[in-house]
Amino acid sequence: MRTKFIHLILSVFAIATFGIGQASAQGFQLPNMQVTSNAFEDGGIIPIKYTSHGDNVQPNFSITGAPETTVGFAIVFHDIEVAIGGSTGDVTHWLAWNIHSRDIPEGSLPAGSVQGSNIRGQASYMGSGAPLRDRFHHYVFEFYALNEDLDLAEGASRGELMAAMEGKVVAKAAYVGRYANAQPE
């Protein structure tokens, strides 16, 4: 009975994730997309260089295990420790899409990539920036493998990006960093 229940849950998840045709064609094997960086370890502390209190440099990333149907990638970078205005929204630090390389260099995006608006309304990377003497905040880089490019203008919002990706995501991975502002006053 328990095995049937687990199989049912996996079937529902695969159908919701890949659609009915893809779930059965893939035999419920989910993509094993992985992200690595030389900047800091997944789950580790973000060095000040990559924060808004330091040099505000975008970290490098390498993506492996993306499905063959991947045309490009999108990134959503946000601080999950903050609720804005009593809502479920958090702080968007960086949005990027139409990234056609599995290797993203430090400090720049590959040619042809597009950036959306962060919480400051800027179409650029905004490093971690936890308030002074606050607890560690968890910053999540979400990586989406997409099966087609997005027709979305530079400066688009996170909501617009998420809507544009609907039905085009073939894999997802996350990379997490922690940061607490302990800068001297």
Q: What is the 3-state secondary structure (H, E, C) of the chain?
A: CHHHHHHHHHHHHHHHHHHHHHHHHHCCCCCCCEEECCCCCCCCECCHHHECCCCCCCCCEEEECCCCCCCEEEEEEEECCCCCCCCCCCEEEEEEEEECCCEECCCCCCCCCEEECCCCCCCCCCCECCCECCCCEEEEEEEEEECCCCCCCCCCCHHHHHHHHCCCEEEEEEEEEEECECCCC
**Mean pLDDT score, 18-44:** 73
The mean predicted confidence, pLDDT, of the chain is: 86
Structure tokens at 94: 């960086």
User: Residue 7: its pLDDT value, please?
Assistant: 42
The span from the first CA to the last CA of the chain, in angstroms, equals 61
Percent of the chain with pLDDT over 70: 81
Boundaries of every domain in the chain = 1-30, 31-179
Most confident range (mean pLDDT) of 15-24, 26-35, 81-90, 173-182 is: 173-182
Cα diameter, the chain: 61
User: Residue 40: its pLDDT value, please?
Assistant: 97
**Mean pLDDT score, 147-162:** 98
Fold category of 31-179 in CATH: Phosphatidylethanolamine-binding Protein (3.90.280)
Higher pLDDT, 15 or 91: 91
Higher pLDDT, 72 or 82: 72
The yes-or-no verdict on residue 27 having pLDDT over 80 is: no
CA distance 125 to 63: 19
| pTM passes above 0.85 | no
For 126-141, the pLDDT digits (tens) are: 999 877 677 889 999 9
The yes-or-no verdict on residue 185 having pLDDT over 50 is: no
